[in-house]
Amino acid sequence: MSEGPLLLSPLRLGAMQLPNRVVMAPMTRARAGADGVPTEIMATYYAQRASAGLIVTEATHFCAEGQGYMRTPGIYTPAQIAAWRKVTDAVHAKGGRIAHQVWHVGRVSHPLNREPGSRSVGPSAIPSGVNIFTPDGILPAPVPDALTQQEIAAVVRGFAQAARNAIDSGFDGVEIHGGNGYLIDQFLQGSANRRTDGYGGDARNRSRFLWEVCEAVLQAVGADRTGVRLSPFGVFNGVNDQDPATLFGTAIEGLARLGPAYLHVINPEVSGDRTVQAGAIDVPRFSRQHFPGTLMVAGGYDRVSAEQALRQGVADLIGFGRPYIANPDLVARLRGGLQLAKAARATFYTDGAEGYTDYPAPA
């Protein structure tokens, strides 16, 4: 076993050689242009954090119906794809590695935040019950249209094309966002999925959409460049399930058979309106039992708990979210045992440099 911290030791992750196991976890920061085009300031932001073993970008939609929030980036127009190339070039120029997280928000959306004429969609016509911040204030998400099987197939193809676009934009890999109550999670969890066809009913049927998306992305860009994120046992954006252990055990074992480069899970008790379901168990250990491949865990870790998780074999990589907002040099701070700066919550989702690219490195 290594004498030094495992957190700072290298790891081969599919097609990528990582210099350390510190991952910048995906975080929505709402700095894209109104047309979903990544901005110059986003390139600066990610490049500042290039010392991470791996950066995973904020979630990015691949069609108008996949957008839920204001100022989130897309990856389906020529302008969006070209602008992402500036981001990856900036990160690579600093010696970093960056993966692109792709999502579809499903029913967690509002028409004021999307292109005119686009719809809110989901597995079933069941509203999320959440409110969405829009240009006109905070408004309830509408009842979604239930996707037809033909439309489901088109969304699967959309995920695959987004992955191709990401690799064409210079990304080192792609992460499928399958958690936090967005479209894939809506198909997984019984509160949002009341379908009676092959995508609804038991845990295998409700996992089918996740597996089809993963398989399509694997075929598009290769297993060695594909990761998947799930939020087992978490309650977020109105989703829950009566038997989460069976559901997520089934879903994760199916992913293991497909063989992506890694599985990324988030602890459900971290923040916001993520809450632990009754009877929830240790998510990293649960996931490890069902997924023998490379496992990334995120949510509430510090230097000590991250090292402990790696030493115990519970995880192979540790994702840090909020610590990376105020600490672009997080790896150096972890290495030196330095105090971490605190992020200003009020600037998490505003536009401009304040609270985004203006956090200083330590003297």
Residues 6+ positions from 302 with CB-CB distance below 8 Å = 323
281 Cβ contact list (under 8 Å, min separation 6): 233, 245
CB 101 within 8 A of CB 61: no
**Helix boundaries (H) for the chain:** 40-48, 78-93, 149-168, 183-188, 203-221, 244-258, 283-290, 303-311, 322-326, 330-336
Structural contact between residues 277 and 242, judged by C-beta atoms closer than 8 angstroms:
no
Q: Is the dihedral of CA 206, 163, 24, 357 positive or negative?
A: negative
Distance CA 221, CA 249 (A): 26
The radius of gyration of the chain's CA atoms, rounded to the nearest angstrom, is 19
Closest listed residue to residue 222, CA positions, set 99, 103, 319: 99
Q: Is residue 283 within 8 Å of residue 230, measured between CB atoms?
A: no
DSSP 66-109: G--STT--BSSSHHHHHHHHHHHHHHHHTT--EEEEEE--TTS-
**Catalytic-role residue among 45, 46, 182, 262:** 182
Pairing of the two strands 173-177 and 137-140: unpaired
324 among known catalytic residues: no
CA of 31: how far to CAs of 148, 262, 323, 350, 352, in Å? 33, 28, 18, 7, 7
Burial class (CB in 10 A: 0-12, 13-18, 19+), 176: buried
All residues at 6 or more sequence positions from 312 whose CB lies less than 8 Å from its CB, including other chains: none
Q: Which residues are catalytic?
A: 182
